[in-house]
Structure formats: structure tokens, C-alpha cells
A and B are shown apart, each in its own frame.
Chain A
């Protein structure tokens, strides 16, 4: 599979490093409007740098376009790629609004090119195992799930992560991971109540606590923090009637370097060994080759976004949002 990647920023570099280990995928072009970023990204995988999607698609034969742009640019490039008959791998969140997300989804209906949305948490080994334990009944009836995801504010192009209008803030960009995982494991969400700092001015800080009630009866509590004054970390605990399972990424790393060489840079590849991004992208490439359905559907990506937006609505209005009647529309 010949891949062109658009957007050689933070997450673009993570994808490129993963592709370097995936023999079935050959990244032939890396596009970024910043020539230095394009060149730096291209060097990682031996690809040619381009300044835009239009430029590389005109020069290169590619099967797949991997979109790692700021969320507000997803729609434009995904629709163009669909028109050009290219499969699209789209970094989460699928879009910033349900309307845009539905438009993207519609563009990939039918037998033409396919859409794969990068909800990478579904490829983290501990989350995969938890989902399997829920499904097998090993945990019994699920009562309360607790998740937390805390990250320093990311430095993106033009500081777009910190601009809630562009990124959707901590709920849409970060906690969508947990909302998607919880839907995957526990099923559909009925109600959402959230409180957060959205709407208040804090410098590069966005914090939220959300409670979800599922149709199954299970309750989930979700914490998210952007601007966390420590390295990225996540926690999840799922308590069922038969057993409870819990993991905290900050507990005992399998390899930890201390001393002058350790630096202070954060890494998304918290697991030693195969990166979840590599697992995700190689699975996506495999699905494109074989025609199999991926672990995460386009519809899943839209539904996770709806939960994020329902939480945002709850923070804005102070009300509880019934997912059947939410402002972001029902499916």
C-alpha cells in the first residue's frame, strides 16, 4: 500500500515512526505547508516532501491518505481524497462537529474508498484486555468504570490545541479516547452530565469531569486534564459484580531512565515494545488489503464525537444531556 501523509506535526511524526516498522505500507509522500516539517517528516520514512495534499496527489500514485491535520482541516482533505478515490486514515476526532463528521462519513459510503478513524486506544494492549474481560463476563455485571487522562498542553501549529474553537478542547480532542473506549466496551450512552473549565479563561488549561450513564445501567466517571503539570498519563478502573480491573500508566514503567540523559520530553509511546499506533496502522492497512472491517467504524467515530459534544453541552448549559435528544443530533 502506498501512503501519503498530510500534516507532519506532533501526531504526524508519531504515525511516520510507526509506518517505518510496517513493511506493508510504503509512505511515498509527506505533505505539510511548512517545508521544514515536510522535509523532517519525509526523512523519517524515505518519502518525498510536498507542500500540500493537492501537490502530492498530483505527483504520486497513492492508495491511502493519512490525515494528521488539525481537526478543523479534516473535512476539506478527507472529502478531496474521497473524490480522488483514495482510502483515508483520519486521526481522531473525526471532525469538530457532527454535521462535518456525517458529511465525511457520507463521502465514504458504498464500495469506493474507505475511511478509518484513528481511535488508537482500541489498540493499547491493556485496554484491549479490559474490553475482552468485560465481554467474556469475567468482571460480571459492570457497575462503575473510572477513567482519567491527563496531558501537558500540546504544542501544535499556531497553538491550535489550546484554541477550543479549533480543537474542541479536552473533551473533543483528548477524552474522546475514553468515550470511544467506554462505548466500545459498555455500549450506548444514555445520559451525560459534565462540569469543566470551558468558558472560563485559564491559560492553556482545560479540565473536565464527566459522568456517563449507559443503557446497560453501568455508570462511568471520566476525568480529563489538558495543561497537566506532569508527564502524560492515563488510568482506568472497571468494577464489576465479580471482579475489578485497574491500570495506571504512571505505575512502574517497564523501562525508566533517570539522570542527566533522561530529559523532560513526554512520549506518547508509553509502552515498551510495539507501539499501539503501529498496531493500529498495520491493522488499518491489513483491513484495506483484505476488505475486513476495522475495529473502529466511521459510525463509532461519529458516536464518540457525539458523547464529547454532549459533555461540552452539559458544561455550557449546566444541564444533563439525554443522548436521544442532544443538540448535536441523534443518529
Chain B
């Protein structure tokens, strides 16, 4: 089978180099064709680094590839996804799907009318620990799920992530969607309401860099009207041995499942740095996700999140911001998409 031809639209997002590396690592099945970027210097540098071509516009790139991975700023997702779809490419879009419901809905409609796939990059679905946990939960290993205590910690990023007009919000926008999507996917249920406390403590200033969300979930086959909390805080600083974490503690009626997505690591003790650091030795979730996305493009079974999954995660985030203002739990409004 021919290799899948893939390009990356924009290196604005910090994950773009990771996806580029994954595309290179997957060279047996992927041809990393090119990079488009409105910041031409950034785009040319990236293209050169990964041995790909630089394209002036997303449309031009889309015409040369099977699929485009969109890694622009959250506010530009609609623009770049639309251009890629119009150019005839399928799209894997960086999370969150967008910063507004109307952008997300427009993206979903654009993919439908173009007859192309719009998938959202929620790579934590592909963490081996998360996949194993999903199997265990489905098999009834902990009984009916009652509650999940989840974290997706990180460090305060820089640049556009901290500008609300461009990102749509801080840590809650950036990290909640990963956990919310994983919970929906693992438990097969939607969130009914969300309560949030947010704050800024770790240096983000304009946007929030800390929060605790409390979700109530609808009943389902494995979950019994469960509740969950999500800590998306950028509370890890330079002294922390790694970038952050992704953990779930799933409490069921007959057992508990501890899930640590990045548990596999070596510890290094650098004499000059004066602190320990962890080197992840587990499988690369991005490569696993891109493999699955390619399967999806070839009509195979796929677990890669859809545009609608992206919208559902965004709805939880937007309701959380309402809650943080009102200090009450807020019902989650499901849009048609």
C-alpha cells in the first residue's frame, strides 16, 4: 500500500514538532510531505529540520497530501481546517477543536460538505495505560464506576497560549479537553454538569493557570451516575522532573484502578542541573494516534476522536468557565454539531 501523504499546517502549537517527529518515525507508512505556516520563517525552519517542503498556504499544501495536521493557534483552527478541506485533504486538528462552539460547528459542517474526515488530536486515548484501563473497566474489573479523580498537569506555556483572544482560555481550555475526552471515551457517557474553581497563581496572569473541575456524568453501562474531578492546572514548574502528568484514579463499586499514563520512565540525576528528571520510556502516543488516523483514512476501524467528540469536550470547558463565574454547577448544553 502507498504511504499516506501528510502535511502539517502551522507550527504555532508546541505539539507540532512532536507530530513532525512522529511522522518521521512512521516513515514506513507516512510520507511527511510538507509544512505550511503563515510565519514563513518558522515554517521553513521546521520543513528543513524534518526534510519536508515549505508551502506558502494551507490550500497549496492540501492539494499535495492525503491529510493535513492542523497545529495553528486555537482561534485559527476554523480558517486552516476549512482551507485544508477545500483543498481536498482530510484533517487531524489539534485540540481543542476551536475556542468557540460556532467555530467548531462550522468545521464539522465543512468536513461533512467536503466529504472529508475531520478528526481531533486527543492522543491520550492511545496511551497504552489508558487503553488497558478502558478494557478493564469494560470487563467489570472494578464493578460499576462510581468516580474518577483525574489530573492532567503541565507547565505554564508561553506566547499565544496566554492570550485569551487567541487561545480561548488558559489551563482549563488547554488540558481539560484531554481528560474530558478520555472519560467520555472510556465510560461511554456524557457529562451532565460541571462545576469549576479557577485561578491564576503560576505565572499565566491574564488567563487561568489552575483549576479544579467537578463533572457529573450520565448513567451508562459501566458507570453508575458517576462523578469525576479534573485538575488541568499548569502547576508544574521547572523543578518538576517532567513536563506534567496524565493520571486517573477510577473508583468502582468493587475495586480501584490507578492509571498513570506516563509511568514508564527512567530517572536521571544531572550533576550540573542539580535536579532529577524523568525520561519517558513508554510508547509514543502521538505515533499510535497517527497510525490509527491513517487506518481511518483507509476506511478501517478507528478510535481517533471525531469533530463531534471535539465539540463535546469544548462544551464542557465553556460550561466550566460559566461555572467559575457563577460559583454554581452549570448544565452542559449539547449542540448538534
Contacts and interface: CB of A to CB of B under 8 A. Distances in A.
A142 B209 CA distance: 12
Interface residues of B, number: 34
Interface in A171-199: 191, 193, 195-197
Interface string A231-252: 0000000011101100000000
B212 A228 contact: no
B277 interface: no
Contacts of B240: 244
Interface in A193-250: 193, 195-197, 202, 205, 207, 209, 211, 213, 217-219, 221, 223, 225, 228-230, 239-241, 243-244
B11 interface: no
B290 to A, nearest CB: 33
Interface stretch (A109-117, A143-151, A283-291): A143-151
B12 interface: no
B211 interface: yes
Nearest to B198: A219
A274 interface: no
A141 interface: yes
B10 interface: no
Contact of A211 (B147, B197, B203): B197
B210 interface: yes
A143 B202 contact: yes
Given A219-B197, A219-B211, A318 B329 contact: yes
Contacts, number: 98
Interface residues of A, number: 35
A320 interface: yes
Contact of B201 (A196, A197, A241, A319): A241
A143 B199 contact: yes
Nearest to A219: B197
Chief secondary structure at chain A's binding surface:
strand
Chief secondary structure at chain B's binding surface:
strand
B183 to A, nearest CB: 14
Interface string A295-329: 00000000000000000000000111010000000
B233 A144 contact: yes
Nearest to A203: B253
A244 B231 contact: no
A144 B328 contact: no
A221 B229 CA distance: 9
Given A205-B253, A211-B195, A320-B329, A195 B147 contact: yes
A174 to B, nearest CB: 14
A230 B214 CA distance: 25
A143 B214 contact: no
B201 A142 contact: yes
Contacts of A197: 146-147
B239 interface: yes
B235 interface: yes
A312 to B, nearest CB: 15
Q: Which 5 A-B pairs have the closest CB atoms?
A: A143-B201, A239-B235, A195-B227, A143-B210, A211-B212
